[in-house]
Structure formats: C-alpha cells, structure tokens
Chains A and B, each alone.
Chain A
C-alpha cells in the first residue's frame, strides 16, 4: 500500500511583473494588469497594486489568492495601528510589518513576490524588495515577478547603483527626475512584454511624492 499523494496544488502562479524606483523626493511603483493561469489569460484588467498607507504602496505578483489575503492582513493591521497610534504607518514601518507577516507563514508561505514603495520619514523615496518568506532590504530600485529577470539587469545598467560595500554608504536612490523615472519604467515593461508571456495588456503606474499620490496607465501588447 503506497502513501496517498496530493492530486492538487494549493498554489498557482498567476503571473505578472512589478517594479519600483525610488527618487530623491518621489517613488514610482508599477505593475502590469494581466492575470493568467497556465497558458490562459483570466483577465486583462486586474490591479496588483494597493495603497497600504498615505506614503506606502505595495505591488505584488505571484499567487493571486495569497496576494489578496496578504493585502487584507496588512490593511487590517494598518487600521489597528492607526487606532492605536493616531497616525499613518511610515513606509519603513510597513516594510518591517510585511516582512514579519510573510515570515509568520514560513512553513506554508504566501506565494507573493512583493515590492514596497513610498516615502520615508524624511520625504525621500524608498523601495523595499522581498522574497516570498519575508527576507527584505531597502534598495534604490527593484523588480519582482515573471518579468523580473528581464527587467532587473536593465535597471542595473540604467540606474548604476553604487556598491553596497562602499564606506561611507552611498544612497541608492536615483538622481533621475520623476518624469525620467516614469519613462524608464514604461520602457522596462514594454521590453519585458515582448519576451515574457505572462506580462502585458496594461501597465498601471503609481507615483508618490510630496504633493500626494497619482496614477497613470499605459497600454501594453496583448499577445
């Protein structure tokens, strides 16, 4: 008698790519809006971006049901924080909360690949990048998801991140202007869409700066 094997997987990969770029006084967070399963497209219009706090936006790709559950947990924790502290969570604080939330399910992970973007307490752009179990670091820019392998090297080339081994530590935020950064992100997605079958349809961009938060959209190839 052989052991019964599972005949279904609790996970699925619904695809998609996320990118975030931090600037001196802004942050750009972007993700495509395609949701797929296997070789099928389920919908061309699903947002992977959520505003967690006034100065903190998260983009996540991976298994959509886990992403949604994670978003709900964080939103709920933020509400409690607001009740207890009478203020919004800062982006670095949310960064730590996200890490802890992910590690909490270390032995049945949220299959969610996240980038957190926002403004830190000094108003400077900040980006945090995560793996599925909560390992994270603050960076100047990052990409996650199915197109990340295509986008990350391009971002490395364009944004010339200083070596983290330097002393004193050099800031990783890009000297690019806000509009230049947005253009760069659009270029990233246009290129990733060409070669990654799970990326496409539409690009949703969220820009956070001193004046607040705004959204932009761009069509991507639908094939």
Chain B
C-alpha cells in the first residue's frame, strides 16, 4: 500500500507499507455469546455460525471451548483470532501444568491473563478482534467475566457479547435470579438465543450450550431451537393494506 504524499507522516492510526498488518478488519466472525451463573456453576450459549461479511459461510464453528480444568471460554468476533487465543491459552495451561505443584489456574486467573493480552494488543494498535466470555468454578467459587477487543473487562452474574448486550441482557436483568436450577438456566439461555435468532441477521439456528461446574465441563451436541411464526400478523400480512407493498 503506497502512501502517496509529499511529506509522508507515519501516524499509528494510518497504515503504510511497513506496518500494513496493523489496522484491521474482521473477516470471518462469530456473533453473540451469552453466559449466566446458576446454582451449580456457569452456563454459556453460542451459536455455531461463522459469517464472512453478510454470507453465513460456516455453520459448524465451535465457539465454546474448555480452558484447563476450571474454565470455559466463549468467543465472538474474528474466528482466526479466537483460534490464536486458544493457542496462547493452551501454552498458558501447559506451563501451569508443568509446575506440577497441585495448583491450577482458575477462571479468575485466565480472565486476568486474557484481559492483559487483549489490552496489550490494543496498545500496539493490533487488536485481537474478539469479545470474550470467560466462566468457571473453582473451589466452589463461581466466576463469570467478559473482555472486549480493547481490554474493557468486567464480571457479573450474567454477561453477553455483541447483539447479546442489546437483546439478551435486558431479558437476563428481568429474569435472572440467584440459584437457578440447570433446567431453568438452559430455558433462560434458550429464550435469549431465540430472540437473537429472530433479530440478529448473523445468527444461525444451530447452537451449543456449555456447562461448567466443580465436577467439570460439558459442551452439548449442536441442536436447533423451535421458532414460532404463528402470529396472526404473519398469517395474512397484507390484510388491511391490499394492493400496497
């Protein structure tokens, strides 16, 4: 990329031949991840879509992955950056295991590590284009946190990325409560994912729900949600305005 200018100025916000890799666009992206705390641990939900702009190019992308013994990571945004993050985490967990000291990184530690990685990449103007949800249980303590591509992070009883913030969080603010049972938690997440399916154009109807408790991680087989289109307004949509479009 030639910078045609009589006095070329290299500003970190403008890319030139030397640092063409910096400013980025995402290419293959995953949409919302939603997470909640429940009685025994954490539940995460994400669909399996990988969009290439407005095309839904991949329909079997696993966006929920276990990390070590105590954590689950859900990612939205650039899928290749998520794969890179998994490589970093695999190395982190490996080094942790190699200490062989009976201790292992819990979700708090993994979340802190991810926050630092995302923030440091942002500082170099070369972000990992992801919004991450990190959940887990260690020694009975439940943990659920989120990190964005510029390093903004927080923990809460329920978190979501992307469209999930607009559509799922309001439902969760209304209906989440302490000590949800597993069935109640799944129902609540499915309600959120259904609304996202109706309203997020990059959502696909093939999702996974992941559970993490003190005992371990379970990631469900992919399945679809039932959708309901039997609203009277959809039955005969032009009634009342025949002839118009």
Contact = CB atoms under 8 A, between A and B. Distances in A.
Whether chains A and B associate is yes
B119 A8 contact: no
Contact of B4 (A1, A64, A108): A1
Interface of B is mostly: loop
Interface residues of B, number: 31
A45 interface: yes
Contacts of B148: 12
A127 B137 CA distance: 40
Contacts of A8: 23-24, 127, 149-150
Interface string B137-172: 000000000101111111110000000011001000
B94 interface: no
B225 interface: no
A168 interface: no
A65 B122 contact: yes
B14 A65 contact: no
Contact of B165 (A1, A12, A42, A68): A42
A69 B13 contact: no
Contact of A42 (B13, B14, B150, B154): B154
Nearest to B5: A3
Contacts of B169: 40-41
B182 interface: no
Interface of B: 1-5, 12-15, 23-25, 115, 119, 122-123, 125, 127, 146, 148-156, 165-166, 169
**Which 10 A-B residue pairings sit nearest by Cβ, starting from the closest?**
A65-B151, A6-B13, A43-B156, A43-B154, A4-B15, A65-B152, A3-B14, A40-B165, A64-B152, A6-B23
Given A5-B13, A8-B150, 19 more contacts: A1-B1, A4-B1, A4-B14, A6-B14, A7-B23, A7-B25, A8-B23, A9-B150, A10-B150, A12-B152, A40-B166, A40-B169, A42-B146, A42-B156, A42-B165, A43-B154, A43-B156, A46-B154, A65-B119
